Amino acid sequence: MNKLEFLERLEKLLADIPYTERREALNYYTEYFEDADKDEEEVIRTLGSPEEVAHNIREESAGKELAESATVNGEQEGGDCVNDSKAEEHNQKSRLEGWQIALIIIGVVVTVPIWGGLVSGLLGGILGIVAGIFGIILALAVVAVALFVTAVVVFVFSLTKLLVTPLGSLFSMGLSLLLLGISMLCLIASWKMITVLLPSIWKGLVYIFNSIFHKKEGVAA
């Protein structure tokens, strides 16, 4: 058996191992033949048969895979242990002791008159503002309707007296038109308060409550 036959036989025997390891083994033994000072037959007697060489290569490959698997498993187990310890530490920090809960409850009960009064005052102020705005809107609507009715009555009355007292009737008609204009202004003002002012107040209240609660959540986190 010469060098070429030895390497061809070895390549066939190593066909079941990964390509990279097979090429490394074949390159190694090719260089071994080239660097040896002995003839090919003597080198083959030193190395052994291709079957023996292939067997040794498989054992080395299996040993490497076992070592890598053990290393990976060890790292995973170590990581799991670290993660478990961190999770346990976090849970311990997150838990509140019984005396801490008791202090919180006592603090809430003791401070009820303070924060309860503040909350009640805030809600009362908000309700008062909203009620006042609704009152203004209702008053403007009533004034608008009253002025409109008055303007119509004065205008009709002026028409009936137009031939008797032309100047007085014209003055009354002008007054009725003025009342009608004021009525329209009151109606427009009430409509603007409903469509613009109330939504703006509502958005402001929502923004204030969101700011307060979001800030509390950020502090708690």
- The pLDDT assigned to 99 comes to 67
| Alpha-carbon gap, residue 188 to 34, rounded angstroms | 106
What per-residue confidence (pLDDT) applies to 215?
A: 52
Residue 54's Cβ-count burial label (10 Å; 0-12, 13-18, 19+) is: buried
DSSP string computed for 146-159: HHHHHHHHHHHHHH
**Alpha-carbon span 203 to 127, nearest angstrom:** 15
> Last residue of some domain: 57, 92, 127?
92
- Which residues have a Cβ under 8 Å from the Cβ of 206 and sit 6 or more positions away? none
Q: For residue 14, what are the domain limits? A: 3-92
Contact 147, 179 (CB under 8 A): yes
* Residue 14 confidence (pLDDT): 84
Amino acid 203: pLDDT: 83
Among 92, 125, 146, the domain boundary falls at 92
53 and 161 assigned to the same domain: no
> Do 199 and 107 fall within a single domain?
yes
Q: What is the pLDDT along the chain (221 residues), one digit of tens a residue?
A: 788 888 888 888 888 888 888 888 888 888 888 887 778 888 888 888 888 888 888 888 777 766 666 565 555 555 555 455 555 555 555 555 666 677 788 877 777 777 667 777 777 777 788 788 888 888 888 888 888 899 888 888 888 887 888 888 888 888 888 988 898 998 898 888 888 877 888 887 787 777 766 654 444 44
Q: What is the pLDDT of residue 183?
A: 87
Going by C-alpha positions, the residue among 186, 192, 179, 110 that lies closest to residue 148 is 179
- Structural tokens at position 191: 């409509």
Q: At which of 64, 92, 120 does a domain end?
A: 92
pLDDT for residue 219: 43
Q: What is the pTM (predicted TM-score) of this model?
A: 0.38
Distance CA 5, CA 9 (A): 6
What's the CA angle centered on 195, arms 189 and 197, to 5 degrees?
Answer: 75
Same domain, 76 and 118: no
